[in-house]
Amino acid sequence: MKYFIIILCSISLFVSCKSSDDQIEDMLSEYVKNIVKNPNSVDIHKFQVYDKVYNSEYRMDLPEKSKNNAITGKSDYVTFLFSAKNSDGIEIFREVSVYFDKTKKTFNSSFPENIDIENGNLSGTCKYYFGNLLTNWQIQNYCNDTNVTIMNVDTLGGRKKHITTVQNGTYEVNKIIPGKYFFKLINYNINLENVYGNYGNKKNYFMLGEIKKIMDFYQIYGREPYGYSDKKLFDVTIKKLERYQGEANETEFFDRDVIDIWKDFKKSVNHKFLDDFDIEDDYRYLNQFDNILIEPSIPTNHNIYIKNYFY
């Protein structure tokens, strides 16, 4: 009799948990189906409930994973992965967070706000400016003939690279799957060594600054999708650059210093990143790296204005 009761309790617990999972999955599915154009193709792959729990250290409510992954009075939002087919019949995957309303029976908002899966497009203008603060020399223009590369970094549906060129000061890329992308701009006609060398006496100091911009971008955005091949070397290199920035007036930097720092950067990061974005000696040319979100169904505008002041 004792074992019979235990078995009954186990079955009851299993059914209860399964029912809770089904309830959340149904809620998520219903939410997505009201948004996408092919609701019958919606598939919820996984989800995680987050509770709002008081943190005594920070003295405020903070999100925390639900231990039972079930809806309770503390439930705040759910992160989940879903897929559905867009108008072209292509299955698109998206990771989304949706926030409960007060009743905990439905959701009233999401992040990102637009979770549609239809293709988007990207366009924008591109300009640059260089100004020497001592000589008042300056030059500005549109970034014509600049190469623009974007690649998705949420790779649920595989990596997709788009490449275009700036013409008449503008660029455009169409039919882009929505999601997070890295954006790289580079113009091989604008050699920064020539710019800094002709109009300043601290060329290599400013070249090191160009490397630091790229390393700062990677440190903030690249570590999650790509990671490092040598994290210790990366940390040592960026600390060295930070020290160099404070020695601008005391230290003379040489071409060898710049080349060695760049080599260490390339050794320290994931080589997949270097291959994906065709990175060779990018610091020598007009460049910019950005992290952008391509919105579905509506145009995404990303204007570039690179301003470099030196002395």
Give 10-residue mean pLDDT values along the chain (311 residues). 47 50 94 95 96 89 94 96 93 94 93 93 96 86 96 79 96 93 96 83 90 96 91 96 82 91 98 95 97 92 93 77
* Helical packing angle, 255-268 and 231-245, nearest 10°: 150
Q: Are residues 97 and 125 in the same domain?
A: no
Contact 110, 88 (CB under 8 A): no
Residue 62 sits at φ, ψ, to 5 deg, of: -130, 150
Torsion of CA 167, 168, 170, 175, to 10 degrees: -50
Chain centre distance of CA 183:
9
Q: Are residues 158 and 288 in the same domain?
A: yes
Can you give the pLDDT at residue 17? 47
Q: Are residues 95 and 201 in the same domain?
A: no
Instruction: Give the domain range for residue 181.
Output: 120-310
Can you give the pLDDT at residue 199? 60
SS3 for 143? coil
Q: Are residues 64 and 154 in the same domain?
A: no
User: What pTM was estimated for this model as a whole?
Assistant: 0.82
Contact 284, 259 (CB under 8 A): no
Can you give the pLDDT at residue 16? 45
Q: Are residues 93 and 144 in the same domain?
A: no
* Domain edge (last residue) among 59, 90, 111: 111
**Domains identified in the chain, total number:** 2
Can you give the pLDDT at residue 9? 46
**Whole-angstrom Cα distance, residue 148 to residue 3?**
68
Q: Are residues 104 and 125 in the same domain?
A: no
Q: Are residues 107 and 129 in the same domain?
A: no
278: left (phi over 0), alpha (psi -120 to 50) or beta: left
Buried b (16+ CB within 10 A) or exposed e, 132-158: beeeeeeeeeebeebbbbbbbbbeeee
Q: Are residues 66 and 151 in the same domain?
A: no
* Domain edge (last residue) among 83, 111, 139: 111
Long-range CB contacts (within 8 A, 24+) of 136-143: 137/199, 142/166, 142/168, 142/169, 143/169, 143/185, 143/187, 143/286, 143/304, 143/306
Q: Are residues 198 and 265 in the same domain?
A: yes
Torsion of CA 169, 173, 178, 184, to 10 degrees: -60
Give the tokens for residue 265: 């950067």
Q: Are residues 100 and 145 in the same domain?
A: no
Q: Are residues 160 and 226 in the same domain?
A: yes
* Domain edge (last residue) among 49, 82, 111: 111
Q: Are residues 300 and 193 in the same domain?
A: yes
